[in-house]
Amino acid sequence: MSTQDDKAKEVSADGAAGPIILFFILGLAASLVFGWIIFPKLLYSQKKQPIDFNHVLHVEAVEEGCESCHFFREDGSFSGIPKLEQCVDCHEEPQGEDPNEIKFVEDYVANGREVPWLVYARQPDCVFFSHAAHVKKGEMDCGTCHGHIGESEHSRVYEENRITGYSRDIWGKNISGLKKHTWERMKMDDCAECHTTKEIKTDVETLPWPINWLPRPYEKQTGNQARVKTVKEACFVCHK
Amino acid sequence: MKEEGKHKKAKKYGMVINLDECTGCGACMVACMAENNVPFKEDESNKLDSIAWMRVYKLTNGKPYPEAEICYLPRPCMHCEGEHGHAPCVSVCPATATDYNHETGIVSQIYTRCFGCRYCMVACPYHARYFNWWDPVWPEESTKYLSPNVSPRMRGVVEKCSFCFHRYQLAMDKAYLEGRTVLEEDEYQTSCAQACPAGAITFGDLNNPEHKVHQLAKPDNKHGGRPGNPNVFRLLERLGTNPKVYYMSSREWVRQAGDNYINNEDLAKNYRH
Amino acid sequence: MKIGRRSFLSFVIGGAAGTAITPLPWKLMDDSSIWSQNWPWTPVPPDGEYSQSNSVCTLCPGGCGITVRKVDDRVVKIEGMKGHPVNDGGLCLMGLSGLQLLYGPTRVKTPLKRVGKRGEGKWEKISWDEAISEVAKKLADIRSNGGSHTVGSIVDSENGTVPNLFKRFLTTYGSPNFMTMPSIQDSYAMTLQVMQGVSAQVGFDAENADFILSFGSGIIDGWGSPVRMFKANSAWKANGKKVVQIEPRLSNTAAKSDKWIPINPGTEAALALGLANIIISNSLDSKKISQSTGFDSFKKLVQNEYGTDKVSKITGINSATIVSLAKNFARASKPLAICGKGQGSIPGSLNEFMAVHALNALVGNINKEGGVWAVTDTEYINWPKPEMDSIAENGMQKERIDGAGSEYPHTKSLLNRLAEVINSGDGSLEALFVSGANPLYSMPGSKAIKNAFDNIPFIVSFSSYMDETASNADLILPNHVYLERYEDVTTPAGLSKPIVGLTRPVVKPQFNTKHVGDVVMLIAKALGGGMADAFSWESYEACLKETLGVKWDILVEKGFEFNGDKCVLEGDFNFYPDAMKSLSDFSPVSIEGSAISYPLLLIPYDTIRLANGYIGDPPFAIKTVEDTVLKGKNSCVEINPKTGKELGLTEGRYASLLTPRGKAKVKVHLYEGIMPGIVALPRGLGHTAYDNYLAGKGCNFNELIGSTEDPVSGFDEAWGIRARLTKV
C-alpha cells in the first residue's frame, strides 16, 4: 500500500499532466505518421512496367490519336491495351535506338510473346464496364476516367494493393480517398457521382399511383441505365 | 392506366417453353453450365446441392402401366415480377445482392454482394437458387474454358439463372457502337434457347408484340401477366409471383401439374387461364 | 522521467485517437471486405478479343456443325452452327460439353509406355520418336516371323480417311484384320445387300415422313444423328405427323410419341410381319411392289405364319391395336418404319431388320420422299492401289480372325466374335491397334473382351483420353482431340443426303499429341519398303487435301458439302431372300439364361445424357443425369411397382442384380413406365477409367451381358439377358 501512495505523490509532485499529455501527443504523432506515411508504403507493392512506354511519342506518330491503338472492335467490345499483333505493324524491326524499344523487339516481338503490361485501371472480376455505353452512347472523353495518360513520357510505377491485389488507381493515389479530378479514383462511388448528379435524358414510365402528391415508389426507366444509385434496381448493369 | 402507352414501354424479357417439343435431353442444362461457368463436383447425384441454373424436371401422370406418361419440364429462374417488381427473393434479401430491373425485367444476383444468408432460397418457390457450399474446383487445365463474361463464384454465395444477362450487355455494346439503342429479337438470346436441339425454348421481350414469346404466351399485363393462350400456363400461378417463364402443353395433366389444387376443385370457377 | 502505466496508457490513447484520423482503419476495412469477396484462389478468366470459328463435331457419328467461341486463344464455348444441314444451330449436351474433353483431366498428354502390369496405371513418358520406333520394331519382328496376319486394328467406323489409312496400312503390311465397332448401320447395310442387292448405307428422309413407326429406335434418345432427329421430331409435332413407338419401356421417345405400344421384347419381327399380313390382306399395299421378286413367297409366309391372333399372342399386343396400327400405317401418305434399338449400338437381329424393311417396301417408300434410301458410300477416297510385296499378298490371303467374309460371307467385320475366337484358342493376335474406340468398355461381354485382350501381347491405343482400353494398353500414342485436328466426316448416320464435313483445328494442340493419321504414316515410313511407298504423303493434312481435291476449298470455307445428290440405288427388291427362310417358323430373338434361375428380363436403355461409346460422359453431362438413374456410386434399375411388390423391393432400396454373365449392386427405382417382369438398366455408366468425375459410378451394362450371334449375319443380336433381382 505504502509504495503506491509514494508513487502517487511522486506523480503529483512532478506536475501530473505534463508527461501524460506528452505521451498522448507522442502517440498521436506516431500514429499519424504511421497511418498517413508508413501505412500506404506498406500497403502497396511497387511494380515496374516490363517496358517503359512513351505515350507522347506514339500519339505524335499515329494518325487517329488514342483510338489508333485503343479502339472498339466490331462486336462492340473495347480492345484496351494493344496486343503484340498491333505493335508489330510498326515494330517488326527497331525503329530507333531507344533501349526500351530494342528490348521490346528482342524480348517480345522476336519470340511472339505478349507483353505482360500491368493495367492501372483494371477493375475486379465482378465489374462489368462498358466502354461502348460511356464513349459511344454517353459521348464521354477517355480523359474523364483515365486522366492525361496520353501526355506521359514514361510509364509510372504500378502499385498493387497487397491485400486486394487491386491497382492503386482504383482507390486513388491519395490514401485518404479524396480526389481533385474525376480520373483520380475509380471506386463504385466515383461512378455513382456521375450517375446521380448528371442530368441524363431518360424515358421514365411511371406506374399507376393513386395519390398524386405522394412520392411514387416505382419508376420504370426505359431509355437507359444511367441512374445507377437513385433506383435500387440496376446492380446487374455494372456487376457480373 | 392512363399513363400506359404514353411512354416507351419497358422491356420484359421472358421465355415460353413448349413442353410438347421438349425431349428432356438436357442440352439446355449443359448449354447453361458451359455459358455461365457453373461449377461441378465429383458426385452430383445429390440434387439438393447440385448447382444447375437450368434444371429439367421429370413429371409423371401418376397412372399405372401402361397408361403412364412422362413430361419433362425445364426450370430456369422465373424472373418473377410479382407486383411491380416485388419478386419473392428480392424483397427478402438483406444485402441488396439481388434486385429487379424494371428496364429488362431481369432479377439479378451479385455474388460479391451476397453474404450467404440463403433467405432468397427459402423465399423462392421454384428452387431456382443454389448455394455454393464449397469453393468451386476446376481440375487442371479446365480454367481455360471459363468465360470472362460471367465471374466465377466463391464459397458461401447464392447463384441462379440470369437469363444470360451478359449476352444482353454484349449485344447492347454492339448496338451502341452502331448507334442503336434497341436490340433485334435474335441479338439477345439465352444460351439454353440457342442450344435447344428441339427448338422448344423461345426467348424474347414479352412486352413486344412482334416477338414470338408475346405471340405464343399472349400475356395479359393487366392481370399480372396471365397467359392468354389456353395451352400456356405458369408454375404456381396462384401464388401471384408473376413469373416470366411460360410453359406450353397440349396435355391437360401437364398444365395441371404446374400448380397445386384441392381435390375436386372447381377449376373453372377458381382459376381462369 | 519515468515511463509509468499512465504514460503508456496515454500513449496508447493518443495513438488510437491519431489512428482514427488517419485513413488506416477505413482503408483496411474496405480492403479486407474486398479480399473476403474475391478470394485470391477464385479464378479470374482473362478477357480478350472474341472470335468464332466453325468445325464439325465428331463425338458421335451425328456430324453436327459447331461454332466455337474464343477469347484470344482460349475456346470458351461450343455452340451449334447456324445453317448447317444436320443441326442448324442446335446441339446436344455432349457436343456442348466438348471443352471438358479438350481441357479436361482425362486427356493423355504425351506418349506413354506401360511400366507396371497391364491396367495398373504405371506409365513412363516417352518421346514420339521412341514411341514410333518401338511400334515399328515390334511390327517388323512380327512380319519377319511370318505373322503379319496376326496384327489387327479396331477403329470406330470404316468411313473417312483415317479408317482408310488404317486399312491401307494393314493391307500393305499383310493383315486382313481391319475391324470396326459394330452398330445398326451394319445390319442395315446387310439388309440393303440381301433385299436390294446394293452395297450402300441406309438413309431416312425422316423430316418428310408423316407416320413414323419405330420398333424401339430411340428417336430422341440418340439414335441416328441425334440433333437432326430432335429437329425432325419437333417438326412432326408442329405439323401433326404421327409417331408410334414400340418397345417394352416408356423411354423418352415413347413418352414423346403419339402412341406407345409396349411389346414383348425380341418379338418385333413378328409384329412387322403381322402388320405386313394385314396390309396385304386388306390390299393396302403399294400395287407396284407386288411385282417384285419373292413377293408371292413373302405373302404366303405372312399369311400362313403371321395371322393377327398368333402375332398378338407372340407380341403381347392386342389384335385390335395391331389391326388399327397396320391400317393407319398403310393409309398414311408417307409412312416410314425404322428399327435398331436405343441409340443403335447393337446391330440386332437381321430378321427384324428384313421384316421392317419389307414393311417399308410394302407401302412403297423405298427411295421415295419421306422414305428409306440407299445411300452410296463416300467415293472421294481414290488413292492409288498400293504395291504389295509377297508377305503382304500372302497375309491378305489369310482368313480374318473374326470369320467375317468367310463364315459369314456378307459381313465385313464381326468384332463381337473376336473375344470368343481368342478365348477358345481358335485364333490369336500378336498386336492390336485401337483408334477412336473403347471396346473394353463398350462391347457387350466386356469381361470376355478383357480376357481376350490379356492374350494379345502388344496393344497400342491411339486414344486422346485415358479410357478403359487405353489404360489396358502397352503403349498410348495420343491423338489430338477433334478441336485440335483436321479430319473428314462422312455422311452422318441415317442421313438421306450424302454429305461430307470437315473437322478443323479451332485451337492449337494443348498437349504433346499427334494426329493419328500422321502417326500411322510415320510407322509405315519407319517400316520402310513398299509400306513407306504406299504412304508417300508428307503429312496427314497433305493427304487429306489431296484426297478431297476440289472439295477442300469448299469445305474450308463452308465446313460441309453435299456429296452429290441423293444416290438412288434402286436394285431389284427381293421380298424373300434366302436369309428370310428362318422366319417360316418364328422364334423370338434368343436370349441367354434360363427362366428358372433368372425369372426376370434385363434390358438396357439409352439416354442422350449418357454416352456409351468411345466418349465417356464429361463432368457437365454426368451432372445432368437424374438421381433415379445414378445415385452416389450406384446405378438405379427400373422395375414396375408390381414387380417390386413381388420381390419385396421398394423405391430406393439396394438390390443385387445377377445375370449369367455378372453381378452388380444396384438401387431400385419403381417406374410405372416399364412392363412387369422386366428390369431396365442404363448404358453408359460403370466406367473404371477416365477421371474421377466418371469412374466408379454405377455399373456397366456390358459386364452383365454377353454377345449372342445372329444365326444369319453373325452380328450381335442380344437385346437383353435373363436376370434375377434380390434384396440385399
Mark out chain A residues that contact chain B at CB-CB < 8 A.
72, 74-77, 124-126, 128, 130-133, 136-137, 203-208, 217-225, 231-237, 239-240
CA distance C709 to chain B (A): 32
Element (H, E) at C622: helix C619-623
Residues of chain B with pLDDT > 70, as a percent, come to 94
Residue C338 contacts residue C274 (beta carbons within 8 Å): no
- Chain C's closest residue to B62, CA to CA, is C672
pLDDT digits (tens, 9 = 90+) for B170-191: 999 999 999 998 899 999 999 9
pLDDT at C345 over 70: yes
Model pLDDT, residue C185: 93
Cα distance between residue A122 and residue A124, in whole Å:
7
pLDDT tens-digit readout, A145-196: 999 988 999 999 999 999 999 999 999 999 988 899 989 999 988 888 877 7
pLDDT of B4 reads 38
Question: Distance (Å, rounded) from C-alpha C96 to C-alpha C647?
Answer: 41
Output the nine-digit C-alpha cell for C200: 450402300
Q: Tell me, what amino acid is at C230?
A: F
Q: In percent, how much of chain C has pLDDT > 90? A: 84
Indicate whether B20 belongs to any domain.
yes
d(CA B165, CA C90): 21
Compute CA C510 distance to the chain's CA centroid, rounded to the nearest angstrom: 25
pLDDT at position C378 is: 61
pLDDT tens by residue, B201-222 = 999 999 999 999 999 999 998 8
Q: What grid cell was written down for A31?
A: 500514429
**CATH code of the domain covering residue B147:** 3.30.70.20
The domain total for chain B is: 1
Per-residue confidence (pLDDT) for residue A13, from 0 to 100? 46
- Whether A26 has its CB under 8 Å from any CB of chain C: the answer is yes
Give B85 to chain C, closest Cα distance, Å: 27
Q: How far apart are CA C602 and CA C637, in angstroms?
A: 9
Give residue C297's pLDDT. 92
In a domain, B254, yes or no: yes
Give the pLDDT score at C32.
92
pLDDT in tens, B246-268: 999 999 999 999 988 777 776 65
Interatomic CA distance for residues C616 and C690, integer angstroms: 7
Q: How confident is the model at residue A8 (pLDDT cuts 50, 70, 90)?
A: very low
- The DSSP bridge pattern shows strands B100-101 and B106-107 to be antiparallel
DSSP assignment of C187-245, as one string? HHHHHHHHHH----EEEE-GGG-SEEEEEEE-TTTT-SSHHHHHHHHHHHHHTT-EEEE
Q: What distance in Å separates the CA atoms of residue C154 and residue C172, rounded to the nearest whole number? A: 17
- B218 located within any domain: yes
DSSP string, A59-112: HHH-SSGGGGTS-B-TTS-B--SPPHHHHHHHHSS--S--HHHHHIIIIIITTT
What is the predicted pLDDT for the residue at C567?
58
List of chain C residues whose C-beta atoms are within 8 Å of the C-beta of residue B147: 45, 71, 76-77
At which residue does the C-alpha cell 434444371 appear?
A: B55
The HSE-up count of residue C668 (CA atoms within 13 Å, CB side) is: 26
The backbone torsions φ and ψ at residue C117, rounded to the nearest 5 degrees and listed phi first, read -75, 165
Q: What is the pLDDT of residues A60-116, one digit of tens each?
A: 988 888 888 999 999 999 999 999 988 888 888 888 888 889 999 999 999 989 999
Sign of the torsion formed by the C-alpha atoms of C658, C662, C665 and C671: negative
Question: Cβ neighbours of residue C633 under 8 Å, at least 6 residues apart?
Answer: C696, C697, C698
If you ran DSSP here, which 8-state letter would residue B9 be given? P
- Which residue(s) pair with C408 in the sheet? C404
Residue C394: which residues within 8 A CB-CB, separation 6 or more? Answer: C148, C174
Give partners of B (≥3 CB pairs < 8 A): A, C
Whether residue B173 is contained in a domain is answered as yes
Residues 6 or more apart in contact with residue B118 via CB below 8 angstroms: B131, B158
In a domain, B1, yes or no: no
Q: What is the pLDDT of residues C229-259, one digit of tens each?
A: 999 999 999 999 999 999 999 999 999 999 9
Q: Does B152 touch chain A (CB under 8 A)?
A: yes
Domain holding B244, by residue range, is 10-270
C52 at interface of A, judged by CB pairs closer than 8 A: no
Residue A212 has pLDDT above 80, yes or no: no
How large is the ipTM? 0.93
Helices C5-20 and A17-33: crossing angle in degrees, nearest 10, is 40
State what percent of residues in chain C have pLDDT above 70. Answer: 98
Distance CA B207, CA B189 (A): 16
Written as one letter, the residue type at C132 is I
Could you tell me if C477 and C460 are in contact, meaning their C-beta atoms sit under 8 angstroms apart?
yes
pLDDT of residue A203: 45
pLDDT at position C150 is: 95
Establish how many alpha carbons lie within 13 A of residue C631's alpha carbon, considering only the half-sphere containing its beta carbon: 14
B36 in a domain, yes or no? Answer: yes
Cα dihedral C64, B52, A128, B139, rounded to 10, equals: -80
Report CB contact under 8 Å: C1, A30.
no
Residue C36 reports pLDDT greater than 90: no
Peptide bond before B66: cis, by omega within 30 degrees of 0? yes
Treating both helix axes as pointing N-terminal to C-terminal, what angle do C161-173 and C540-548 enclose, rounded to 10 degrees? 110
Interface size, chain B vs chain C, as Cβ–Cβ contacts under 8 Å: 197
**Does residue A5 surpass a pLDDT of 90?**
no
- Mean pLDDT, all residues of chain C: 93
Q: Is residue B198 part of a domain?
A: yes
Which cell numbers in the block locate residue B218?
399472349
Q: How far apart are CA A227 and CA C665, in angstroms?
A: 61
Please give the full DSSP string across C90-149, using - where no structure is assigned: ---HHHHTTHHHHSSTTB--S-EEE-SSTTS--EEE--HHHHHHHHHHHHHHHHHTT-GG
pLDDT at A1: 43
The arithmetic mean of pLDDT across residues B48-57, rounded, is 96
3-state DSSP call for residue C698?
coil
- Residues C155-172 pLDDT 10s: 999 889 999 999 999 999
Does the structure show a pLDDT above 90 at B244? yes
Mean of pLDDT over chain A: 81
The answer to the question of residue B4 being in a domain is: no
Residue with cell 470406330: C156
Contact (CB, 8 A) for B167 and C96:
no
Q: Name the residue facing B154 among C42, C105, C673 (closest C-beta).
A: C42
Measured distance CA(C82)–CA(A227) in Å, rounded: 38
